[in-house]
């Protein structure tokens, strides 16, 4: 059961990270489009060897919320699906 829980939490954390990556992409598209519509050149910041047009703190917060949200989402649904169902079946 511990391996199953570890896999479940790992998968939910990975899903949270993917959702954070999607949110990062959508925000970056919005900021770049907004800058280009105002005839401005977007400022490129190098973050971990990749190009990023968002401020550093927004990038970090998105990934932290994604990873943390995935962890707590996995904990919640683990309790709801496995622990409560196991108690109700006994």
Are the beta carbons of 32 and 42 closer than 8 angstroms? Answer: yes
Domain that includes residue 16, residue range = 2-84
20 in a structural domain: yes
39 in a structural domain: yes
18 in a structural domain: yes
Query: How many domains, the chain?
Result: 1
The pLDDT tens digits of the residues spanning 36-87 come to 999 988 877 766 667 788 888 888 899 999 999 999 999 998 888 877 766 6
90 in a structural domain: no
89 in a structural domain: no
Helix-then-strand count for the chain, H and E: 3, 2
The pLDDT tens digits of the residues spanning 6-46 come to 999 999 999 999 999 999 999 999 988 998 999 988 877 76
8 in a structural domain: yes
69 in a structural domain: yes
């Amino acid at each position: 059961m511990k391996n199953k829980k570890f896999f479940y939490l790992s998968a939910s954390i990975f899903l949270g990270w993917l959702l954070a990556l999607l949110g990062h992409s959508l925000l970056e598209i919005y900021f770049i489009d907004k800058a280009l519509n105002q005839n401005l050149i977007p400022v490129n910041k190098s973050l971990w060897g990749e190009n990023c047009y968002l401020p550093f703190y927004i990038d970090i917060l998105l990934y932290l919320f994604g990873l943390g949200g995935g962890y707590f989402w996995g904990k919640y649904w683990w309790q709801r699906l496995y622990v409560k169902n196991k108690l109700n079946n006994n």
